Chains A and B, each alone.
Chain A
Amino acid sequence: DAGVTQSPTHLIKTRGQQVTLRCSPKSGHDTVSWYQQALGQGPQFIFQYYEEEERQRGNFPDRFSGHQFPNYSSELNVNALLLGDSALYLCASTWTSGYTGELFFGEGSRLTVL
């Protein structure tokens, strides 16, 4: 049983560019959340997708957007990249109807903005 998988593992972009990160949730999970983890900090909630819609959103600008597909996989898009967007981006999955309080995290996509 594959856990949460994310791609790419690492990527480098320059300021002003756009990036797309991808996530496949753990088998059986229908809810995907994205977190940003800056160096030396704890993860910060960006948003959550359920039934292909954004259900909750943290305190992030509109440059951050996402999508969930019918197979529950998800993308995170960041436009007009800033140096401060350099971070580890984590995807977490769970299933809403059977939520027990545990989120399952991928290993993350490390984005460097130059």
Chain B
Amino acid sequence: GNSVTQMEGPVTLSEEAFLTINCTYTATGYPSLFWYVQYPGEGLQLLLKATKADDKGSNKGFEATYRKETTSFHLEKGSVQVSDSAVYFCALSETGANNLFFGTGTRLTVIP
């Protein structure tokens, strides 16, 4: 079956620190991989995506690379800001499908 495992939070970082949130997946076939973010008081929104092996998704300074050999899609940012404080969800969808399997989420708090 399909599943996504994320590193457990919460994660607390100082402003300008380096961020890594680990994500590994189990899937049949060749899934698409996503990072969604949930800011306080807002709905989930897509942060970045990758649809095939070795693709790198990037947005707002965040990056993640689709690694088929390690079944991973780790989220990174070189210098976090207070405004990055949110809950981050790793997710996958099967080829040709548009429903998502989510991880449990990682809460990030960035302190000034």
Report A's interface with B, CB cutoff 8 A. Answer: 3-4, 31, 33, 35, 40-45, 48, 56, 58, 90, 92, 94, 96, 99, 101-108
* B22 contacts partner chain A, Cβ-Cβ < 8 Å: no
Q: Are A42 and B89 neighbours in the complex by a CB distance under 8 Å?
A: yes
B98 located at the interface, meaning its Cβ lies under 8 Å from any Cβ of chain A in the complex: yes
Contacts of A35 in B (CB 8 A): 100, 102
Q: B: which residues have CB within 8 A of A?
A: 4, 32, 34, 36, 41-46, 49, 51, 89, 91, 93, 97-105
Q: Are B105 and A56 in contact (CB under 8 A)?
A: no
Q: List the A side residues contacting B34 at CB < 8 Å.
A: 101
Cα distance A45–B102 in the bound complex, in angstroms: 9
User: B98 contacts A31, CB within 8 Å?
Assistant: yes
Q: A42-B105, A101-B34, A101-B93 are in contact. Are A107 and B43 (CB under 8 A)?
A: yes
